[in-house]
Structure 1
Amino acid sequence: MTTTSSTADKADVLDCGHTATPDTVGTGSVIDPRTGATSCYPCSDERERVAMTRATTFVAYVSTDGDALTTWPGGHLATIDPADTRQTGRRTYTPSGGMWTRYVWHATDLDGGRWIGVNGGPGLVIGVHRLRVCTWQTEFGNGRGPRYCHRRATHAGQGGAFDLYCRTHARQVFDLYGWTTTALPPRALASLTA
């Protein structure tokens, strides 16, 4: 998406059916580079959230306080893990001998999908990719909420594209619920990130 700001009249209706979103410069709108369609920031944010649910890689921004992945206008896409919000980054060397500070971010989107990406710090653009971990939720039993199994997925479930299970939990969902799963082909397994 391409974002623009102009001093156009607020009464102008965009292709999404809304007027342009006011911002600090004038009025802001988003232009789809493929179709040329214009939309306000909230409609654009919603389209980005939907696109993220179908993607395996995605480009977003880390919020300036480091607690969320956002769209360019600042719409919430995913929540960054609390442990990553306190990181100070690691100094690392580039192949040419330069040095930069590297931040690794783990995040959970609104549908429970797990993401990981690396960038130069809060407030900057980041390319993230979906983690293909077992989606089985395990209970701590000590009052804390459930968490992901985090083992490498080897079986696809029936629920959707990202309904994946490790070998142990694939057997368990069949025993408990009668849900059948199919083993992922070897080529797919090689491309999965644990």
Structure 2
Amino acid sequence: MAEYDLLVRGGTVVDGTGAAAFRGDVGVRDGCIVDIGALKGQGAREVDAEGAIVAPGFVDIHTHYDAQVFWDRMMTISPWHGVTTVILGNCGFGVAPTKPRDRDLILRTLENVEGMSLDALQAGLGAEWPFSTFGEFLSAIESRGTAIHVGAMVGHTPIRTWVMGEDAVSREASPEEIEEMRVLVAAALAEGALGFATSKAPTHVGYDG
């Protein structure tokens, strides 16, 4: 009987600890790595990794798949490069929370700042988005399923736009509006946001510059 469900043999192991790479085997049982080294056992399935790197999945902490996740479960092209976890909501941008009145404004902001196709964004999310709040956004992602792991931060732009609408790009927020934003951020964190994202980069501006 095979000792491992999967045995990856002869690869160059980079284990993510900072230790030097080494030639070795990786044994997997019941979905978990159980042994690493010069393994003598057999695998029910074996992979010859000679000449290849064997490493834990990479975490891409800076992506803008906030809309793409709804039409591309793979979040192409990240998995092509060994990425198994992506983080959305970077640079203060994102698509949640968003009121129906502000959907076009949010998408035009992504088009302007991140160079995304407005037509693709509109087609991918559809006329009726499956979320408004940040919690609903995460639930919609989970219900559709993804091929890799996903985490998300809540962005300054959708928070500010939720409270101020189009005024978000033309005036300062009042103390009352800032308090409403604070409450929204706290709610998003409670609903599963990994953090709050913002930016002071001069290129990170609204849809009309």
Q: Normalization by structure 2: what TM-score?
A: 0.28
Which one has the bigger strand percentage? 1
Which one has the bigger helix percentage? 2
| Bigger relative contact order (CA 8 A; separation at least 6) | 2
The structure number with the bigger radius of gyration is: 2
Q: Normalization by structure 1: what TM-score?
A: 0.29
